[in-house]
A and B are shown apart, each in its own frame.
Chain A
């Protein structure tokens, strides 16, 4: 990576070469000097990849390098003349020369040839690759001549410093220390009060007290988790094609809790990889397996399931390998690894451990792509139990009620001829249940006698000039249309002022069914069609007349259901009464004394529950007991007048409980998890990595270079997880510790945190890494203890101030002769701005949130039908949560995060780049989130900073840097404030514009302008904005 590490690499190069040239007596170090030459230049054809080997010679193993190649040898220890290797890399004969001059490979440099020559001359000592040899606890070096070390780490680093001509730097100031360690352990800066407390604590263990406090903070778990999200490739969308929403945030919550509870790392590992396979796992152990489900997935139309299954599985193997083994197994998908001892067959052996998830390889674009698990809170669990108990009770009550009913069908032998169409009245003195009454003109008017009433107590009356109507929609007991039915309504036209036209309209989802009488002045629908059909002249005035509309004439087909009805008129006074349908289709609420008769009338039972429909399909004599029971119960509950009033209240209670239960179930968080198939799928050797190019079946096997499964471990993911955390495993501890080290110091002890293989960089402090690895196991994988060990060290506590020479000689601080200093990650920058402005809403865990981002970013890339094609910003508290909770759309990650090198999370990332660009400057200066934070920070400065301007500015500076500004610095702050104040005083509109732009109505404190006027606040806002852009503010120093 072209960042600061590079020059270090370069420096290492120098330090390697210098002894070679000037101190010819030093013995050649095989691992550090010789293997890289062989690996970079020879392994492509003489390495682990069997198919690429064009001759018998292989140089990646000791046996191969010294093998008898049919009477000759490539290398003969101690004998420069006997082996062919040196000759072949130096000969002038192009046919003999290695690497072949016409290939893409570079020739060896004279220095490299010299290294090989000296190595052979010195006896060609071979060493296994360091990372594959289990760490052995090294002796802590004796540096008793120095007072500097605090703990063992410092012994190791001091030795290395001295080797490279450096000495330790003094301890950083207390202000720097508290800021550094607070940022490192919690991701947030300390408050001024916390700084003052620390400064005033003179006790020798003040720093340790501070560290312990920070490790207890719940922010610690959040901050630790945030790094792991990159590693686990956590995202809130599926990542491919539609890139729809995904719900797996409970896994993130699990991580936070695991770190805060200091769950031992071996347990964390086992639960994430195979929690589902633990004996009798609890819910959270299963939630942890979300790790396996964080891969990107697709459901693109046209996708081939097998291809996606292979891709998903390869991703899981690669992620597992990078995260836990620090190995690039992905190289062996298509061929044997070119550098590391990992065959293609071994890759598919690992693949076999991850290939048997019980899931559809295509995600169905579903937010909860199964398998999933419910994760209720304790409260929700209790409530659910309670509701289930209620439900059981009410069901029992219903059963008992049914059992208590005795019913015998009076017409059990009824047939089609046994019944006739009858009027079913839908509207009489009231509208049907659920109807939403509406009108054009005055509201519905129900009148009583002596005004005309046809039946019951009331009719409805309307007097109109022009078009008017009353109508309803949304009836919950719809009117069911049957074949040959007729709709009817009674109408009474006032004799004095009759209408020009009357109309009935029927709604079956739409209003396109109209019948009218009289003139044709109401323009709706198409005349002559079911949408506007004339049924004759106006009926006689001054008397009740029954209007009839055969359903087919207005385009209503059997089975359709009316939820709305309109009484419409043009001019005049009109009374309406009793309306409904002449039918033999049973209507909801309609009574039948005979079950058989009802069954006949119900026909196919359209609109009835599915089980009832199924039973109705069966000839009565052939129905099963269950079908008979279903029908009988439905009849008794809904149709039979002698029982329904007894049952329905209980049923309503059941419905109510069920509704609550459904609502509760909807609220209970669910998350994607791993689940193993009962029978593992076969895994195959895939030639060239192609999903449809199967070779032999490959069982679950592990790379031969690594230890075997521990005794008694099952040959599945659980066994694999146990294998990882077996104390004899050479990689797991080193890889994990290295990543933590990297986050404190900017660079890992192994710079290539993702590659511990032979092409990876050698550790800068191998003994230290091994010591920490064994210490980690000794402390039973105690994660907090390890963090504490690191931050307690004198190495960590050094000042990061250094002379220019040291920066030049060791720009990336690989020799640790000064404290760490580098720009903070994207999330920390935003969190810090929210924190110092007082905006940060601290709430542990929960679903992801969508704070500010410019409009149109998702739309620009999103599939039009994706449920993340349109960004909808959240409001209120959700704008101010810690950045680790920001919704991560993987095909368009949050821009202010991506600009500061946050990865897309499409793939596992163990090392972020750390760039320095003008786009970052624009974010910090102009992103609404930062402008708003500046404005709120300004307000705090004026409210809390003290009385005088000097005090306020000094407090502001302290808030972002933890230290008091120098006089000179204060002078700069005063100058910029007074400049801005002057300009805003002459441009108060500008001041107001700035403040308003950074003021939302979501939080009352935003409106607090009491202690300031706009020009002051605007000037202070710009000053605060500057402070948030300060190098010292954006840097952990």
Chain B
């Protein structure tokens, strides 16, 4: 039995978002004496994060390159060969059959396994090289092209899952079957929080214009599995209360709430004196934090202090809450407030048919905001210790699903290769890593499994993925199961 670890675990329970709550009752009593002491104060913007507190690890395994992560998740799986993985040879192979030597009997989803033919569908979009690094980027993503020198493109991601639910569960939790903690939950559990007034792990959902019928998300994707539930991602919503139940009911003023909380604390304090249960003091603390969030969250969501230049950089959609652009700006504001892990989800990438039209709209949704986020973080000196990740749960097939013309085609799921990009947080900028064959079908160089990706993300946060474990059902579980190698080649 590891006494230190057990002790740490106990401490963790005393935290919400990792905040220490050892001042037994003191806070509440203080608030009785001086109500202004606990008057809600705006959350501070600090570019010098204090070390995270309250994590199981106490301190990181090695110095962290990244203090925060912003993960732009493209749910539904973007087509790598229409966006990044340039395959000019496909053009001359239009409507010819995918050679068996390439497919190698690989299993297909039952959506296309019955197709008589697997005809090559070359991208209809133009590619060009960008920046000093000369990275190939499709015309669909002009803004992303402009940050090519800040970005590391990984073209050799691969996974085993071939359908959305298992695949997205896999990349987010390390297992295809529901039940394990998500990446963000592991970070919260391991590192604790750098923030006193905001959730430690925030999830944002975006509106989209790609394929209307979009793949589902699941709360398990930011859930905690068997880790304690306070490590779950908190959705900041663009509709209604940004945090569920944040607002006082109509007719209840901040002052009334304060008075109620003071009286509540006084009664709870008496209860503590009688029973001695330390849990009572934790509860008193939690009510104070809830009260602080009632101020810090609205302040966070209010963009009125952003400059015109900043807003323009994110594009016109930034003023519409819930768009990807607005969420990107919100992510930057969260990063400034040292929220450790922000994950933006955008759905609509599952383009089995009518891909050229749908992907055009979808790229318009994500291109400017995503690029602006990287630029904005860089301008503010935050990119160095903020890791930005862009990508989906798998790739798409070079062969066409359904009817094929030069102008229109669809693509099925493809687990054997896909592209993601990463920026900041100690990742080498301006490089392309890994390669695929001329069909964008198989990885030919430097494969990166999704476990490797997750190992690398943890590594940048100072965590040895093999040593952040949780014992459940007698076994020490970890995010990367029994796999994963840090992709050292892409590290600064």
Contacts and interface: CB of A to CB of B under 8 A. Distances in A.
Given A807-B277, A906-B220, A918-B293, A856 B473 contact: no
Interface string A819-862: 00111000000000000000000000000000000111000111
A864 interface: yes
A277 B123 CA distance: 57
A239 B220 CA distance: 10
A921 interface: yes
Interface string A885-922: 00000011101101101001011000001011111111
A241 B165 contact: yes
Interface in B160-214: 162-165, 177-179, 205, 212-214
A51 interface: no
A804 B213 CA distance: 58
Contact of B260 (A755, A823, A854, A1025): A1025
B219 A1030 contact: no
Among A104, A315, A758, A968, residue most surrounded by chain B Cβ atoms (within 10 Å): A104
Contacts of A243: 216, 218
A992 interface: yes
Contacts of B241: 854
A875 interface: no
B219 A891 contact: yes
B466 A104 contact: yes
B299 interface: no
Interface in B238-255: 239-241, 243-253, 255
Contacts of B260: 976, 980, 1022, 1025-1026
A114 interface: no
Contacts of A1030: 264, 267-268, 271
Interface string A298-311: 10111111000001
Nearest to A902: B229
Nearest to B19: A918
Interface in A958-997: 966, 968-969, 972-973, 975-976, 979-980, 983-984, 987, 989-997
Interface in B254-274: 255-257, 259-260, 263-264, 266-268, 270-272, 274
A694 to B, nearest CB: 15
Contacts of A854: 237, 240-241, 244-245
A922 B243 contact: yes
B136 to A, nearest CB: 29
Contact of B252 (A760, A919, A1022): A1022
Contacts, number: 298
Interface string A371-414: 00000000000000000000000000000000000000000000
Contacts of A328: 473-475
B235 interface: yes
Given A802-B275, A913-B228, A915-B230, A926 B216 contact: no
B453 interface: no
B320 to A, nearest CB: 15
Interface in A918-962: 918-923, 925-928, 931
B229 A855 contact: no
A760 B471 CA distance: 10
Given A2-B10, A9-B6, A13-B1, A917 B230 contact: yes
A855 B241 CA distance: 10
Contacts of A987: 251, 253
Interface string B272-293: 1011111110111011011001
Contact of A1 (B228, B243, B268): B228
B235 A860 contact: yes
A975 B252 CA distance: 17
A640 interface: no
Among A36, A904, A973, residue most surrounded by chain B Cβ atoms (within 10 Å): A904
Nearest to A865: B213
A847 to B, nearest CB: 23
Among B177, B250, B263, B290, residue most surrounded by chain A Cβ atoms (within 10 Å): B263
A7 to B, nearest CB: 5
Contacts of B178: 239-240, 296, 904, 906-907
Nearest to A856: B239
Interface string B459-481: 00000001000010111000000
Contact of B412 (A12, A302, A918): A302
B234 interface: yes
Contact of B250 (A901, A997, A1026): A997
Nearest to A973: B263
Contacts of A899: 229, 244
A1029 B290 contact: no
Contacts of B274: 801
A898 B356 CA distance: 40
A141 B186 CA distance: 46
A547 interface: no
Given A2-B9, A901-B229, A968-B270, A1018 B251 contact: yes
Contacts of B179: 906-907
Interface in A273-316: 296, 298, 300-305, 311, 315
A811 interface: yes
Interface string B286-313: 1101100100000000000000000000
A909 B140 CA distance: 46
A303 B256 CA distance: 55
Nearest to B289: A918
A121 interface: no
A242 interface: yes
Nearest to A961: B271
B251 A303 contact: no
A860 B286 CA distance: 27
B286 A918 contact: yes
B223 interface: yes
A861 B16 CA distance: 25
Contact of B287 (A754, A918, A992): A918
Interface string B409-420: 000110000000
Contacts of A995: 251
Among A856, A860, A994, A996, residue most surrounded by chain B Cβ atoms (within 10 Å): A860
Contacts of B212: 864
Given A926-B248, A983-B253, A1018-B251, A821 B277 contact: yes
Contacts of A915: 13, 16, 228-230
Contacts of B475: 328, 331, 338-339, 759
A303 B3 CA distance: 46
A968 B271 CA distance: 12
B12 interface: yes
B216 A861 contact: yes
A9 B6 CA distance: 7
Interface stretch (B90-98, B104-112, B382-390): B104-112
A1037 B268 CA distance: 13
A866 interface: yes
Contacts of A242: 216
A983 B257 CA distance: 12
Among A311, A907, A992, residue most surrounded by chain B Cβ atoms (within 10 Å): A907
Contacts of B488: none
Interface of B: 1, 3, 6-13, 16, 56, 107, 109-112, 162-165, 177-179, 205, 212-220, 223, 226, 228-230, 234-235, 237, 239-241, 243-253, 255-257, 259-260, 263-264, 266-268, 270-272, 274-280, 282-284, 286-287, 289-290, 293, 412-413, 466, 471, 473-475
Given A13-B3, A802-B275, 17 more contacts: A104-B466, A241-B163, A339-B475, A800-B277, A801-B275, A811-B10, A822-B279, A854-B237, A904-B219, A904-B223, A917-B286, A925-B290, A972-B263, A975-B263, A994-B250, A994-B252, A1029-B264
27 contacts: A2-B10, A2-B11, A6-B7, A10-B1, A241-B165, A302-B109, A302-B112, A759-B475, A821-B275, A823-B279, A823-B283, A854-B245, A860-B235, A864-B214, A904-B220, A907-B178, A915-B230, A916-B13, A917-B229, A917-B286, A973-B263, A976-B260, A983-B255, A983-B256, A992-B251, A994-B251, A997-B250
